[in-house]
Amino acid sequence: MKIRSSVFASFILIFEVIGIALFLRGFFPVPVRSSLSSKNKLSDLPAEPLTGRSPNSSRLPQPLFKRVVIMLVDAMREDFVFGPNGRMYMPYTRHVVERGSSQSFVAKARPPTVTMPRIKALTTGSIPGFIDVVMNLNSPALLEDNLIWQAKTAGKRMVFYGDDTWVRLFPKHFMEYDGTTSFFVSDYTEVDNNVTRHLDSTLKRDDWDILILHYLGLDHIGHISGPHSSLIQPKLLEMDDILKKIHSALISKEAEGSLPYLLVLCGDHGMSETGSHGGSSEPEVNTPLVLISPAFKRKVGMEKPGVVEQVDLTSTLALGLGLPISQNNVGRVIPSVLEETSLRDQLRFLHLNGHQLSCLLKDSMPDYEKEIGFEQFRVAEKAHGSWMKLYLEGNTSEVLSNMGKKVLKQYLEALAAMSSALSKQLGKYDMYSMITGMVFVFQLLLVLLLAMPEALSGAAAVDLPVLSALLSLPFYLLCLLLASVHVLVCTSAESSCYFCSLSWGLVFAAVAFSSAMFCILVSIATRRIPVGPKFRGTAPLGSSGGGGDWSLSELDVLLLAGTVGHTLSLAASSFVEEEHQTWYFLLNTLCLIVFQDVCRKYFREQSASEDEEEHILPSKDYHPSTYPKAEICSEKWLALATPLFTLVCCRLLRSLNQTGVQWAHLPDIGHWLNSSEHKMVLSLLSAFCLVLIYLLVQRRCSWVSKVALALGLLGVYSYRAAVGNVLFPWQHSSRTMSK
Amino acid sequence: MWDHEIRAMASSHAIIAASMLMATVIPAVALPGFSVYGTHLLWLYLVSGAVTAVSVAVFWLLGITPPTKKHTLGYKLSRFFRSCVYFFLSCLFFHTVVVLYGAPLIVSALETFSLAVLLTSLTTLRCLCVLGPNVQAWIRVFSRHGAMSVWDTCLQITVACTLVGAWVGAFPIPLDWDRPWQVWPVSCSLGALFGYLSGLVAAPAWIHYHRKQLIYKCK
């Protein structure tokens, strides 16, 4: 079947896009998001479970803390606090961790360990995936249910000083704020001083409930010189002093009878060995979490800090402040924080967290009833109900407290199971859809490559053996094989798979398409590659690409090697940042080789004709070459000059604008032209270029088009003059245009 | 059938390679503070000078240089003068090509010129020695099947290897490893030298391997 090249190309393009879309659908996991767009309200909370009688009020237990200070130090690794150098880097913190009334943990962050997703994780309790980084590039306000919104709705007064990402994510939520920009990445003193300067006055006041501080200096130092540099220690001492200041202020303000304070020291992500972050290596993922409050027992020595997930902090803070837990929260409350409260309150807190997690599970997984965690939670809830009945009857024996502890353990197991089920759903790749997508893409790519010589030839038509492929036996066998593979995979997959969820018609169409592509591929390949000498003899001379001419000239080698090399170079981050250098380089090489080809062609003919001159008899074909000699001469010079002219233009373009990361600061012509003392040069140059455009284009235009073109180009120049970039001839550069 | 020539080629290449190595080692021992990365330009000029001197001597002794048509001193001097002019023009040509590839025009002009001098002494000099200052002969040799003798094939191979080596040597420049050999023009000149050395080794080997199939058109 002969198809025109344009039709063939569009057909390939559409199906490639479908293949890539299928791959991406499998690669990016569906975010675990509650389908309800509203946020959790206090009235949504479940009642305390009670078997037998109707439940009484669904009141929350008393909050644990009255005031919370969250000190978030960007890029704080856990070994800065808990490591062997911790005593030297942060002496006061280490003292509180070892001997004060505190709880310390190592909080594991999830990749991407970049600040904005981590802030989102900490406030919503959900785990943003890589797709969130892509979809929220300019960080608009956070619309999901989150801790800050809940606090604002409950009337808590919040003060924030630090990275202005928070201000952008939560506009109008803070009673008082001062967002410092993180743009100047080489400054690590001013960014923190801008936060600390408000601290003294704020700590003296009584009118706030939550104070959030976000320090960026450590992150900047990490990016500049890494975690083992000499700048780290003074910065950590500074952070330690600030913690001491806050702690002393909170202690002095502590009043008897009221709820205690809570001071949280945490990091949003760690720092790799080179000082950067973003990945999932251990130092980047492990952050310290230190909770300081008189509500905790005093420690008697350094214990190894327990490991929790970073999002566990969200539910702990929500419950500690008496707020509803945000809807998409995946973390579970940290049990040791609740140790000092009564058993009834502990069970109630765990019940609330479990209820929230089970609602989220119900909402995001189609077969939630099969989850172990869900079952365990149901069982624990029932046991809680019967414990409540016994408790309310006034039973205070040992049996009650033992039973209560058992229910507690059941709750903790259920929470752990549900939390891990929700987290696992986020990181799963849908391998089957990915593989299917890749198979499509590669098949189409190979068909495109094999049909390329035909498609680009003069006839511009591709001969696809569709009919012969569809009527052959391998096609049907392949269809059967792929269909059976599909059924096998879909019935044995334990997770949901996008490709399996498609309707049977679509799946069968995809299977048939894939098999047909494969058969067409095989037949084109056997046609192209010369299988033996008998094919050469029988192939008609006129057919394009009959036997397949496989001798590659240097140009072909360069084009192939350059394409493959460019694709491979994208594996190195430096080459991705400086990809334009790769392009310049390959383009230059291409021009030079074209030039060499042209030289060879013309100079060899010239030398060949000169060789013939040396023979005694002037041969007959010397004469015809004299006739069109003038034409050949000008054509020759044009062909020789074109690659050189292209090279010079490319070189000019390179120095016109420096881009990339490494050499972006170097001065370039664009900079020079845009400065105000060279406006005359810029005006002349742009006027010249516009006139040149007109002269080159106007040859093919009708009279009306010529006038329109001239007016259009004049309009371009006038616009630029009005904006102030260039000058009209009657203006002097000293006079500025009034707005 | 060209065993004698192949052996002569191999030994001359060995002498040239040895001279290059000596141009590296002797100043490192004799001069204080000399290093390949540190005093790179000095080293470049030393190597170029060594290769030039040794190549001219070896080819003259072997009798490869094409004989002059006339034997007057004036003609010989004019030939020598033309060779020098071609050498200088070739330096300018390489300098232009490297600037077109992206080397800064004014800032590191001396480094770029030194690289051009190195490339010339590795490629053009050999052309001058083997073929003489005759542009037609050069065009003939570098066209597809224009090699007339074993030395022409050897010339093709070494020039191609040197240029490819210099081309490949430009790859590490965008990487941000901050190594001393990424400073301009160290990586390209080292690439050119390694290309030249591998060409010196590969040319006799290739000719020896293909000696049965090589057919040269007689002039």
Which part of chain A has CATH 3.40.720.10? 67-328
Q: How far apart are CA B93 and CA B83, in angstroms?
A: 15
Helix (H) or strand (E) holding A440: helix A431-456
A441 has pLDDT over 90? yes
Q: Is residue B185 part of a domain?
A: yes
A228 has pLDDT over 60? yes
Among A657, A662, A660, CA closest to A672:
A657
Across A702-722, average pLDDT? 91
A279 has pLDDT over 70? yes
Give the pTM.
0.58
Residues 6+ apart with CB under 8 A from A179: A160, A162, A163, A164, A165, A166, A167, A168
A602 has pLDDT over 50? yes
Residue among B101, B143, B174 whose CB faces A578 most closely: B174
User: In chain A, which residue's Cα lies nearest the Cα of B175?
Assistant: A574
Name the phi and psi angles at B32, rounded to 5: -80, 145
CB spacing of A582 vs B102 below 8 angstroms: no
Taking the CA of residue A548 and the nearest CA in chain B, the distance in Å comes to 22
The angle formed by the CA atoms of residues A281, A282 and A286, to the nearest 5 degrees, is 125
Contacts 24+ apart (CB under 8 A), A470-476: A470/A516, A470/A519, A472/A519, A474/A519, A474/A522, A475/A515, A475/A516, A475/A519
A677 has pLDDT over 80? yes
Helix (H) or strand (E) holding A277: none
**Yes or no: domain A67-328 corresponds to CATH 1.20.1530.20:** no
CB spacing of A574 vs B170 below 8 angstroms: no
pLDDT of residue A550: 55
A548 has pLDDT over 60? no
Quote the number of domains for chain B: 1
Among A358, A359, A328, A363, CA closest to A35:
A363
A625 has pLDDT over 70? no
CB spacing of B175 vs A572 below 8 angstroms: yes
Of the pLDDT bands very low, low, confident and very high (cuts 50, 70, 90), residue A32 is: low
| Stronger pLDDT, A258 or A104, i.e. the higher one | A104
A563 touching chain B per CB within 8 A: no
Among A524, A521, A598, CA closest to A555:
A598
Lowest mean pLDDT, pick from A49-53, A254-258, A282-286, A512-516:
A49-53
Of the pLDDT bands very low, low, confident and very high (cuts 50, 70, 90), residue A372 is: confident
Lowest mean pLDDT, pick from A448-462, A678-692, B11-25:
A448-462
Cis geometry, peptide bond prior to residue A49 (ω within 30 degrees of 0) = no
Q: How many CB pairs under 8 A join A and B?
A: 43
User: What type of residue is A691?
Assistant: V
CB contacts, 8 Å: A651 with chain B: 99-100, 102
pLDDT of residue A734: 52
Q: How far apart are CA A190 and CA A197, in angstroms?
A: 10
A654 touching chain B per CB within 8 A: yes
Residue among B136, B142, B170 whose CB faces A585 most closely: B170
- Per-residue confidence of chain B (219 residues) as pLDDT tens digits? 667 888 888 888 999 999 998 888 888 888 888 888 888 888 999 999 999 999 989 888 887 777 777 778 888 888 889 999 999 999 999 999 999 998 888 888 899 999 999 999 999 998 888 888 888 888 888 877 777 788 888 899 999 999 999 999 998 888 877 788 888 888 999 999 999 999 999 998 888 888 777 766 544
Taking the CA of residue B213 and the nearest CA in chain A, the distance in Å comes to 19
pLDDT of residue A539: 40
Determine what percent of chain A is predicted with pLDDT higher than 90: 19
Residue among A574, A577, A585 whose CB faces B101 most closely: A585
Q: Mutation target for B interface from A225, A566, A607, A661: give the one with most B CBs within 10 A.
A: A607
DSSP H helix total and E strand total for chain B = 8, 0
User: In chain B, which residue's Cα lies nearest the Cα of A648?
Assistant: B100
CB spacing of B102 vs A600 below 8 angstroms: no
CB contacts, 8 Å: B170 with chain A: 585
Residue A102's DSSP bridge partners are: A292
User: In chain A, which residue's Cα lies nearest the Cα of B102?
Assistant: A651
CB spacing of A651 vs B99 below 8 angstroms: yes
User: In chain A, which residue's Cα lies nearest the Cα of B145?
Assistant: A604
pLDDT of residue A1: 80
Q: How far apart are CA A162 and CA A178, in angstroms?
A: 7
Residue B124, CB half-sphere, CA atoms under 13 Å: how many?
Answer: 23
User: In chain A, which residue's Cα lies nearest the Cα of B100?
Assistant: A651
A98 has pLDDT over 70? yes
pLDDT of residue A140: 73
Domain holding B86, by residue range, is 3-209
Among A363, A261, A262, A374, CA closest to A40:
A363
Q: Is residue B30 part of a domain?
A: yes
A659 touching chain B per CB within 8 A: no
Taking the CA of residue B140 and the nearest CA in chain A, the distance in Å comes to 8
Residue among B101, B105, B176 whose CB faces A662 most closely: B176
Of the pLDDT bands very low, low, confident and very high (cuts 50, 70, 90), residue A31 is: low
Residue B80 Cα to chain centre, angstroms? 18
Residue among A574, A584, A589 whose CB faces B175 most closely: A574
pLDDT of residue A59: 66
pLDDT of residue A246: 92
Q: Is residue B217 part of a domain?
A: no
Residues across chain A = 739
Contact A270, A83 (CB under 8 A): no
Among A341, A285, A334, CA closest to A313:
A334
Of the pLDDT bands very low, low, confident and very high (cuts 50, 70, 90), residue A462 is: confident
A138 has pLDDT over 70? no
Across A629-643, average pLDDT? 81
Contacts 24+ apart (CB under 8 A), A616-625: none
pLDDT of residue B30: 86
pLDDT of residue B180: 81
Of the pLDDT bands very low, low, confident and very high (cuts 50, 70, 90), residue A426 is: low
CB spacing of B97 vs A592 below 8 angstroms: yes
CB spacing of A588 vs B101 below 8 angstroms: yes
Express each pLDDT in A176-186 by its tens digit: 888 888 777 77
Average pLDDT, chain A: 82
Contact A365, A30 (CB under 8 A): no
Taking the CA of residue B143 and the nearest CA in chain A, the distance in Å comes to 6
Residues across chain B = 219
pLDDT of residue A26: 83
Among A70, A65, A67, A68, CA closest to A243:
A70
Q: Is residue B218 part of a domain?
A: no
Q: Is residue B216 part of a domain?
A: no
User: In chain B, which residue's Cα lies nearest the Cα of A651?
Assistant: B100
